[in-house]
Structure 1
């Protein structure tokens, strides 16, 4: 079980402050990161995954400072991420996409089919990845991330393209993953998914942390309720 800590992270782009002195803790379980467009969610994900260095502050994983480590180094420590824009190998089959991730960790090829079955897209195993529906491609990204056996899983808009039944099944899968001791963080606009399946929620607004707490605490917060939940 791993604990992620973001401590006083600020990210500036010239005169614009995209993330402003954000501190939060992510422990094993399912954690939601919500807020309006432009709140700084994806930028914060970039910092956590190593794609962007913060202007100030630091990131630790199990008390080890990983702020200066690049994405590949963090991946070796068990950090995996999916992206808002689909990042699959379009010319490979769905099965081959997962196999590539397994081989990067020297894990058995037989796990590819098991992972596709677990995320619910085994029927597309032989299909070229750029021909499958958007929802299936999202789940392929998840299967590929799981192939690295992560301790920290960062998911950016993972339910995009899923219907309601698929989203509920996805939420149940996230809870299964957390029960295995993984820390799962999702940036998500589907409030039913966030409030129904997350153990903890952080809300960003204009780059700052507005509130953190259980779904009930966040739902009851006046600013959150007015701005995001209606």
Structure 2
């Protein structure tokens, strides 16, 4: 069952979202060759706590950290590590926080130093995919209108969209209904209603869309070893259009 949120509840979720947006602005200042994803993780967790919120992922079904830190061919759910990032890497930092009982979820892909033209295009197109998807998140549209816009733009640029990891509703819990992949046909799927709140989080691969899970049970990698990028926002469906809670 999809839990619709009132305007007052959406405003509370936006408070959580603004903490994450501020956190990502600060992370952008420290990402550089030589820093470790564990240092980024610790910075993010301290930032969240300092602003009166709590991290959500550490301890969730055994996940060990406050952020997912996914480098290069890791699509999502990577563990932060003590291995330094190097020039040319791309790193995805995905964070969920809870503030006064309400959650928000967002991810950014960061360039480490100078990245290749291919990586630069992948990151740019993935962010464009997110924005195109958000633009279709209108009352009366169907979820297929959102995800087909994402898929068309990614594939039109020679990339592929991950199917096996999905977006999700969010509210008092990190994962609520609905859940959906970022690929599909326009006019298909559930209809968008005022009060829905869910993530839009395209994961776009430079190669093929197939993936596998590492031995740790979490880390999702591209099957062909190609780069992967991701951007994510928490979005509310309102009568005035999509409201991005995490920017």
Tell me the TM-score normalised to structure 1 length. 0.29
Higher RCO (CA 8 Å, separation ≥ 6 residues): 1
The answer to which structure has the higher helix fraction is 1
